[in-house]
């Protein structure tokens, strides 16, 4: 009880540094209070991170887990075109976990939140009775002008498909870090950094509000997230294998399609709309009327294999 209060007080003080006007009340009462800017809707998302499913304690430093959990929520907000405002985080810790783990975890989370202009405003903490794994749940709150949030459901035949960066590099970086192998190429160095310091695309998401017809973030791998977008829009798509990543070879393509944790945005533009300037975007394909997904590789058109983020820790 006293230890819990001291811990909450530490978190409250660490979180209070990033005050922003929309946060009327942060940590310390029965609930937090958020006042969205006039004319704005509030956008809410929640994401779990479970030990041995989404991370390995002996391989993934606690601060990286904190940054990655924050990024999951911030990436959802980005996909809605929302401006990040606040995070809440609930944590279940197994008995005997060193006290340094939660502190480093919260530090990583707070750093990612601060970079996005979001404030930690609440949460809950519990110890687990059994020796299961750590369970973390983040809640992200953002704001978007009323009725202007980006949805998955607006893609129509003829719209062009874009992504905000090369895909599959976070998966490559995870392989490098987990195998303790040093990066040898420029792509491998970038991949390692993307795994250790993921960053959501909230600036791009907001810039897309006036131009994109649909958007989703790529957290589970392009193949899965493209399927979600097309299902919600009632359409199909074809994508160009060569456009997805900078590295060559089948391994790189597999990571681009199924790797997960890229936290890039996948979005569609109607004919005549220009992508926003100032972002490194790549056109990867187009929307088709029939509800099927195709991969164009070396001039051949193949059904896009199903699949997606394979929980790698199992």
Residue 77 lies near a second copy (rule: CB under 8 A): yes
Minimal distance, residue 246 CB to a second copy, in Å:
26
Residue 92 lies near a second copy (rule: CB under 8 A): yes
For residue 147, is it left (φ>0), alpha (ψ between -120 and 50) or beta? left
Residue 65 lies near a second copy (rule: CB under 8 A): no
Q: Which range binds a second copy by CB under 8 A, 103-111, 134-142, 183-191, 244-252? A: 134-142
Residue 41 lies near a second copy (rule: CB under 8 A): yes
Q: Which is nearer to a second copy, 50 or 114 (CB)?
A: 50
For residues 36 and 50, what is the distance between their CA atoms, to the nearest angstrom?
Answer: 31
Q: Which is nearer to a second copy, 91 or 177 (CB)?
A: 91
DSSP state of 182: P
Determine which residue in the list 11, 15, 27, 54 makes contact with a second copy, applying CB under 8 A: 54
Site for a second copy in 239-298 (CB under 8 A): none
Q: Which range binds a second copy by CB under 8 A, 123-131, 173-181, 241-249, 277-285? A: 123-131
Minimal distance, residue 175 CB to a second copy, in Å:
19
Q: Which is nearer to a second copy, 14 or 44 (CB)?
A: 44
Q: Which residues contact 37 (CB under 8 A, 6 or more apart)?
A: 22, 143
Please, are residues 202 and 84 in contact by the beta-carbon 8 Å criterion? yes
Neighbouring CB atoms inside 10 A of 213's CB total: 20
Please, are residues 122 and 148 in contact by the beta-carbon 8 Å criterion? no
Site for a second copy in 158-217 (CB under 8 A): 215-217
Q: Which range binds a second copy by CB under 8 A, 34-42, 167-175, 250-258, 282-290? A: 34-42
Q: Which range binds a second copy by CB under 8 A, 10-18, 138-146, 237-245, 291-299? A: 138-146
The H or E element spanning position 14 is helix 2-15
Determine which residue in the list 11, 71, 76, 172 makes contact with a second copy, applying CB under 8 A: 76
For residue 28, is it left (φ>0), alpha (ψ between -120 and 50) or beta? left
Q: Do strands 300-303 and 264-269 pair parallel, antiparallel, or not at all (unpaired)? A: unpaired
For residues 50 and 135, what is the distance between their CA atoms, to the nearest angstrom?
Answer: 5
Burial of 30 (0-12, 13-18, 19+ CB in 10 A): exposed
Neighbouring CB atoms inside 10 A of 16's CB total: 15
Determine which residue in the list 79, 196, 245, 295 makes contact with a second copy, applying CB under 8 A: 79
3-class SS at 19?
Answer: coil
Q: Which is nearer to a second copy, 102 or 133 (CB)?
A: 133
Q: Which is nearer to a second copy, 94 or 183 (CB)?
A: 94
Q: Which range binds a second copy by CB under 8 A, 143-151, 162-170, 177-185, 196-204? A: 143-151
Determine which residue in the list 6, 19, 33, 302 makes contact with a second copy, applying CB under 8 A: 33
Phi, psi of 170 (to 5 degrees): -65, -40
């Amino acid at each position: 009880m006293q230890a819990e209060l001291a811990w909450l007080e530490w978190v409250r003080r660490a979180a209070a540094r990033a005050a922003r006007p929309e946060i009327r009340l942060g940590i310390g009462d029965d609930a937090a209070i958020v006042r969205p800017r006039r004319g704005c809707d509030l956008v809410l998302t929640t994401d779990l991170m479970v030990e041995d499913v989404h991370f390995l304690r002996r391989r993934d430093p606690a601060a990286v887990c904190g940054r990655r959990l924050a990024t999951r929520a911030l990436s959802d907000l980005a996909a809605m075109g929302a401006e990040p405002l606040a995070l809440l985080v609930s944590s279940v810790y197994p008995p005997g976990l060193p006290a340094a783990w939660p502190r480093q975890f919260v530090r990583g989370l707070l750093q990612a939140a601060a970079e996005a202009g979001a404030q930690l405003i609440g949460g809950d903490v519990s110890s687990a009775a059994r020796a299961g794994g750590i369970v973390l749940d983040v809640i992200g709150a953002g704001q978007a002008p009323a009725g202007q949030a980006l949805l998955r459901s607006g893609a129509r035949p003829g719209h062009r498909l874009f992504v905000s960066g090369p895909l599959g590099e976070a998966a490559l970086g995870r392989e490098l870090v987990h195998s303790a192998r040093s990066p040898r190429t420029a792509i491998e160095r970038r991949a390692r950094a993307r795994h250790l310091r993921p960053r959501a695309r909230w600036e791009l998401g907001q810039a897309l509000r006036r131009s994109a017809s649909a958007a989703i973030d790529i957290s589970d791998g392009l193949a899965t997230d493209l399927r979600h977008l097309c299902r919600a829009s009632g359409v199909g798509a074809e994508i160009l294998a060569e456009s997805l990543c900078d590295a060559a070879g089948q391994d790189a393509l597999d990571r681009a399609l199924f790797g997960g944790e890229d936290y890039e945005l996948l979005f569609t533009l109607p004919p005549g709309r220009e992508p926003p300037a100032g972002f490194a975007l790549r056109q990867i394909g187009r929307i088709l009327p029939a509800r099927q997904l195709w991969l164009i590789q070396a001039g051949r058109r193949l059904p896009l294999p199903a699949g997606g983020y394979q929980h790698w820790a199992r």
